[in-house]
Amino acid sequence: MAPDAGGAGSGPGGAAAQDEAAGGPRPAGAGIAGLPRRYQWVAGVGIVAVLAVVCVHLAMVFFYVAPANTVSKQHSQLINRWVNPEFEQNWKLFAPNPLQQNVHVQARARIEDASGRMTTGPWTDLSAQDAAAIRHNPLPSHTQQNELRRAWDYFTQTHDSKERPIGARGKLSEAYMRRLVVLRLGQDHPGEPMTRIQVRSATTNVAPPPYAEESTDTRTSYRTFPWWTVGPSDVPGGVDKSVVAASGNGEAAK
C-alpha cells in the first residue's frame, strides 16, 4: 500500500508540520534569516539594543563637545557622568587654539625625622614620573595618563588668581590634590611623616619651528601655591567630612 501523502512521513505535509512545531518555517539562506523564529526575535532585540546604546553615546558626545545650549545645560551632570573620564574629548590639539605649552606639576614636602628636626625636601616632578612610565609603554594605565593631569586642571580652574579656592568645588579639588600629592611623595619617603606639602606648576612655551618667523619666550615660569598642612584626612582612605558636606551643599544649591 502506498504511504499517505498527508501523513506524518517524509512528504511535504510532514516537513511543514515539523517546521511549524519548531517555531515556524525556516527560510532558506544564511544569517539571521536562517534561524528559527524565536531566535530571530532574540537577535532582533539585541541589535536594536546595541543601536540604541550607540545612538545615546553619539548624542552624549555631541552635546559634550557642542557649544552650550539648552539641552547641555539642563542635563550637564548626566552628560559629564557618561563621557568622563573614558570618552573625554580634548580638542586642544587642533586649531584655532592648539596647546603650545608644556606644564609640569611639581611637589615637595617637609619631613620630620626621629629627633623632631624638620627638613624640606627637593621639588619632585610628578609629571615627569608619569611621562617616564608612559614612554615606550604600549599599554599605559589610565592613571598614568590622566589622573594627575585631570586633577591639576580641575584644581587650577577652581582657584582664583590669588590661589584661593572658589566655593565648594575649590575646596574639594584642593583636598583631592593634597591626597594625590601625599600618596605620590609618600613613595619617595617611606616611613617618614610629612607635616606639610607644597605644589607648583612649571610652564614652558613650546619653541616655534625653525622656519617660523615668530619668536617665543621659552623660559620656564612657575605658579607656586602656599604650603598645606598634612592632616589625617589627606592619608589615603581618610575622609574629610567638612569638604564632603560643603560639596554636597554646593551641588544641592546648583
What are 23-47's pLDDT values in tens digits?
555 555 567 777 888 888 888 899 9
- The gap from C-alpha 249 to its chain's centroid, in whole angstroms, comes to 24
The answer to whether residue 27 sits within a structural domain is yes
The answer to whether residue 193 sits within a structural domain is yes
- Which of the two residues, 91 and 72, has the higher pLDDT score? 72
Has this prediction a pTM greater than 0.85?
no
Domain count, the chain: 2
Share of the chain above pLDDT 90, in %: 38
Q: Are residues 138 and 43 in the same domain?
A: no
Q: Are residues 63 and 105 in the same domain?
A: no
Structural domain boundaries, residue 67: 20-83
- Given this model, what pLDDT does residue 254 score? 38
Residue where a domain terminates, one of 35, 55, 83 = 83
What is the residue type of 13? Answer: G
The answer to whether residue 1 sits within a structural domain is no
Place 171 in a pLDDT band, splitting at 50, 70 and 90.
very high
- Asked, as a colleague might, if the bond just before 96 is cis with ω within 30 of 0, I would say yes
Please calculate the CA angle 103-104-107 and round it to the nearest 5 degrees.
Answer: 145
The answer to whether residue 108 sits within a structural domain is yes
- CA-closest candidate to residue 127, choices 204, 67, 19: 204
Please report how many Cα atoms fall inside a 13 Å half-sphere around the Cα of residue 153, on the Cβ side.
Answer: 6
Q: Look at phi and psi of residue 145 and say left if phi exceeds 0, alpha if psi is from -120 to 50, else beta.
A: alpha
